[in-house]
């Protein structure tokens, strides 16, 4: 028997024009309860031809409860960081020059130190809190103050400081961390090179051990080996963690990290070190990105951050990890928090954009479509709903998925669950979610900007600067497509382990028959519970599509089939030459990345569904179920071509997906403002005049003016009225 929620979801949509007007009239940011009541009122039936089913019962969102639920496990850390981000002296001022913006942000770092906002992840014995999850949760919220502040603080404490913490040992912690924590030593994270970004294993910088002096000699032997795009490198950094190929006794042991002083007390480069300013960028101009190069720069042997690899005074190399490849990925895996934090920060930026745009769309009126006197609220137009409400659904999915990722991150870095398998799962999860959330953040900012028209283009309303600042999130801490390729390799590796001894016939039957035994449950793939077949009736199709079992089956089936197909195509690479294997891999790269993206989308849907199971309030659960269904069916609609080509949906069923998405979007219209209000950002975080209530005042003023003019009898006649 269907649950109450499922029965509710199966019902037809009701017209929301009148309900939307009542919701807009109650759209003051200070009155979420009245909005919820207004959104729950019953309206007239829609004139669209849809299946005739019982009317939906009233539903209302408990905004206060939902807002706290969205804060997640580290609610206190988020609220404290939001309090800090609400301080005017920590917020971005539009129109500053490059130098002014840089100096303002650097000064803000000192305010963060004074607030005690930067030490959560560092050891308690050094004044920290050993709170890794809380540290990331708080760090993400700084994006609401200024993304430049968020990223520059991330460079100082999340990259430079964390590299010393996680790649160094107790000597490095005691020697270097106190000055990093209190900002006495601003630092750079010198990994990326002009010639090698995502391919860190191939960097050109070398650190050659000189046993006679007990020092490493660091060189950038050609221009492409210069360290580039480094925050704190152009002006403020006085030291850096430099990644270089470690060479001792003529053997290259791969990439390792070294603590290297950069500048003296006067701010001048030390001997052998030079650099350039990257200059004006497309965004994040509060950060002094720059380039560094090294010529016979000597650092003591003990400056090697030697947690995973060490060199004796005599030059003998030792490591607890025998495999060079595994050692390399283990070292880089300790720095995964950058990807985790970008996932959360991008989701936060999407929340801010939607809270601004939906608030404005609930107040701004345009065109007298259904009345001779009253203009329509923007959010009552179907197209406006279809532009913004599905983005709300995806943002909720991203938020719940991020909580899963952050929980996994904290478990690994706290030591609660820190096996090699746990770390690999964390790396895969971060590589899956970071691309989706950063792309979604950019798409949301752009759509929200356009949905607010000319007002959205004004810098004061923040869309343009946020969009410019977040642009680079898609390519730093790992280019999104490269990260998805890493996810695909993990999926294929797990698949190959499952079918290592299977012949071509077995693999073919797996793809064609969708065998019951499924792959890689450990990385999020689930067993397909049933095949979806078309039963002819649109009403029945809608009833099935709203079932979480059917949504899960469709999303899972696509991932598993795509992985199996790619694996089958790549199978000949095992016996091919290196060149032919590389060509075969390249020919299937697009398919691999799409399979990984589908996998990440499935994990987001799973996270949303798991979060939904913990909601007890009936009204909130009902509305969030609609939001989850809108997200899940939106994925199916986006990939409808795949489902049609592979025979998973009939054309009629595919059409019913689109029809039902329109119904869900309209049904969510009265709840849109509550859903974004639950994100919990106040005026001090939004800082957008169009979301301040000023638009509602303007609209009320205009309506009052015309009403009084008509009542006075002095209103001029419309020319059209004379011709009737």
What's residue 539's pLDDT?
A: 53
Structure tokens at 482: 């490269």
Arithmetic mean of pLDDT, 28-51: 36
Structure tokens at 88: 């005017």
Distance CA 557, CA 526 (A): 9
DSSP-assigned beta bridge partners for residue 215: 210, 300
3-state SS class at 616:
coil
The b/e string for 100-136 (b: 16+ C-beta within 10 A; e otherwise) is ebbbbbbebbeebbeeebbbbbbbeeeebebbbbbbb
pLDDT at position 16 over 50: no
What's residue 420's pLDDT?
A: 87
pTM of the model: 0.87
The CA-based angle 45-388-142, given to 5 degrees, is 140
DSSP labels, 551-597: HHHHHHHHHHHHHHHHHHHHGGGGGS-HHHHHHHHHHTHHHHHHHHH
pLDDT band at 53 (very low <50, low <70, confident <90, very high): very low
* 8 A C-beta contact, residue 599 and residue 487: yes
Distance CA 231, CA 106 (A): 11
How far from 158 is each of 10, 90, 153, 231, 416, CA to CA, in Å?
47, 19, 7, 12, 21
Q: Among positive and negative, which fits the CA dihedral 211, 216, 220, 225? A: positive
pLDDT digits (tens, 9 = 90+) for 143-155: 999 999 999 999 9
Arithmetic mean of pLDDT, 9-19: 32
pLDDT at position 536 over 60: no
pLDDT at position 227 over 50: yes
H/E stretch holding 248 reads strand 239-248
What's residue 197's pLDDT?
A: 87
pLDDT at position 488 over 60: yes
Which residues are CB-neighbours of 197 under 8 A, at least 6 positions away? 229, 475, 479
Please tell me which residue, 690 or 501, carries the higher pLDDT value.
690
Q: What is the mean pLDDT of the chain?
A: 87
Mutual angle of helices 548-570 and 538-545, in 10-degree steps: 80
Q: In angstroms, what is the C-alpha Rg of the chain?
A: 28
Helix, strand, coil percentages, rounded to 5, for the chain: 60, 10, 30
3-state SS class at 430:
helix
H/E stretch holding 199 reads none
DSSP-assigned beta bridge partners for residue 45: 14
Arithmetic mean of pLDDT, 310-332: 94
What's residue 479's pLDDT?
A: 94
Please tell me which residue, 518 or 443, carries the higher pLDDT value.
443
pLDDT at position 450 over 60: yes
pLDDT band at 724 (very low <50, low <70, confident <90, very high): low
What's residue 58's pLDDT?
A: 67
pLDDT at position 28 over 70: no
Phi then psi for residue 499, to 5 deg, are -120, 35
> How many other CB atoms are there within 10 angstroms of residue 617's CB atom?
15
Please tell me which residue, 20 or 599, carries the higher pLDDT value.
599
Arithmetic mean of pLDDT, 695-711: 91
Ranges 110-124, 239-253, 488-502: which has the least confidence: 488-502
Nearest Cα to 42, choosing from 59, 26, 25, 27? 59
* 8 A C-beta contact, residue 674 and residue 622: no
Arithmetic mean of pLDDT, 666-685: 97
pLDDT band at 518 (very low <50, low <70, confident <90, very high): very low
What's residue 252's pLDDT?
A: 98
Ranges 30-39, 155-164, 346-355: which has the least confidence: 30-39
Distance CA 495, CA 489 (A): 10
Q: CATH number for the 192-333 domain, one of 1.10.3720.10, 2.40.160.40, 2.40.110.10, 3.40.1160.10?
A: 2.40.110.10
Pairing mode, strands 273-277 and 290-294: antiparallel
Ranges 473-482, 516-525, 572-581, 603-612: which has the least confidence: 516-525
Which residues are CB-neighbours of 317 under 8 A, at least 6 positions away? 246, 248, 249, 251, 253, 309, 310, 311
Cα of 308 vs its chain's centroid, Å: 30
């Amino acid at each position: 028997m269907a649950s109450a929620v499922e029965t509710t979801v199966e019902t037809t949509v009701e017209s929301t024009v009148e309900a939307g007007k009542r919701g807009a009239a109650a759209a003051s940011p200070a009155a979420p309860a009245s909005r919820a009541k207004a959104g729950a009122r019953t309206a007239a039936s829609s004139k669209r031809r849809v299946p005739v089913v019982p009317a939906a019962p009233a539903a209302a969102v408990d905004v206060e409860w939902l807002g706290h639920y969205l804060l997640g496990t580290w609610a206190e850390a988020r609220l404290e960081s939001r309090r800090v981000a609400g301080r005017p002296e920590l917020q971005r001022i539009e129109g500053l020059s490059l130098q002014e913006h840089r100096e303002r942000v650097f000064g803000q770092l000192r305010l963060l130190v004074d607030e005690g906002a930067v030490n959560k992840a560092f050891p308690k014995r050094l004044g920290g809190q050993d709170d890794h999850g809380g540290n990331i949760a708080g760090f993400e919220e700084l994006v609401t103050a200024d993304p430049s502040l968020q990223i520059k603080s991330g460079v100082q404490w999340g990259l430079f400081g964390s590299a010393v913490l996680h790649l160094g040992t107790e000597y490095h912690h005691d020697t270097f961390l106190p000055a990093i924590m209190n900002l006495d030593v601003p630092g750079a994270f010198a990994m990326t090179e002009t010639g090698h970004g995502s391919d860190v294993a191939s960097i050109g910088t070398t650190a050659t051990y000189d046993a006679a002096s007990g020092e490493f000699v660091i060189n950038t032997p050609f221009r492409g080996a210069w360290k580039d795009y480094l925050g704190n490198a152009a002006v403020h950094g006085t030291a850096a963690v430099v990644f270089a190929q470690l060479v001792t006794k003529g053997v290259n042991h791969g990439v390792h990290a070294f603590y290297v002083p950069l500048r003296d007390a006067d701010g001048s480069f030390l001997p052998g070190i030079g650099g350039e300013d990257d200059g004006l960028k497309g965004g994040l101009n509060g950060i002094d990105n720059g380039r560094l190069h090294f010529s016979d720069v000597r650092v003591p042997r003990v400056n090697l951050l030697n947690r995973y690899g060490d060199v004796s005074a005599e030059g003998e190399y030792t490591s607890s990890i025998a495999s060079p490849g595994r050692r390399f990925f283990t070292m880089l895996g300790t720095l995964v928090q950058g990807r985790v934090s970008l996932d959360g920060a991008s989701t936060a930026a999407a929340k801010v954009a939607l809270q601004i745009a939906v608030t404005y769309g609930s107040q701004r009126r345009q065109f007298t479509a259904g009345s001779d006197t009253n203009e329509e609220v923007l959010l009552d137009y179907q197209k406006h709903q279809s532009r913004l409400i599905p983005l709300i659904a995806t943002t909720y999915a991203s938020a719940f998925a991020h909580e899963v990722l952050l929980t996994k991150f904290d478990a690994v870095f706290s030591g609660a669950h820190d096996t090699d398998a746990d770390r690999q799962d964390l790396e895969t999860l971060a590589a899956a979610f970071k691309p989706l959330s950063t792309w979604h953040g950019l798409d949301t900012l752009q759509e929200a900007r356009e949905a607010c028209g000319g007002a959205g283009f004004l810098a004061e309303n923040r869309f343009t600067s946020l969009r410019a600042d977040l642009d680079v999130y898609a390519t730093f801490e790992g280019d999104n497509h490269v990260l998805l390729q890493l996810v695909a390799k993990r999926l294929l590796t797990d698949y190959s382990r499952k079918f290592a001894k299977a012949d071509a016939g077995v693999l073919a039957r797996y793809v064609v028959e969708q065998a019951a035994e499924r792959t890689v449950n450990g990385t999020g793939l689930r067993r397909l519970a049933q095949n979806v077949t078309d039963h002819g009736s649109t009403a029945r199709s809608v009833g099935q599509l709203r079932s979480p079992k059917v949504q899960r089956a469709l999303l899972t089936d696509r991932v598993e089939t795509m992985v199996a197909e790619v694996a089958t195509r790549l199978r000949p690479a095992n016996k091919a030459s290196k060149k032919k294997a590389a060509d075969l891999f390249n020919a299937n790269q697009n398919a691999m990345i799409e399979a990984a993206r589908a996998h990440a989308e499935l994990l987001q849907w799973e996270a949303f569904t798991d979060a939904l199971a913990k909601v007890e309030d009936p009204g909130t659960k009902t509305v969030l179920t609609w939001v989850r269904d809108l997200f899940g069916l939106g994925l199916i609609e986006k990939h409808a071509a795949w489902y049609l080509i592979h025979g998973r949906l009939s054309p009629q069923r595919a059409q019913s997906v689109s029809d039902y998405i329109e119904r869900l979007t309209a049904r969510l219209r009265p709840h849109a403002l509550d859903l974004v209000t639950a994100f919990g950002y106040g005026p001090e975080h939004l800082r957008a005049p169009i979301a301040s209530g000023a638009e509602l005042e303007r609209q009320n003023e205009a309506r009052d003016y015309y009403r009084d003019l008509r009542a006075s009898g002095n209103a001029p006649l419309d020319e059209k009225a004379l011709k009737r």
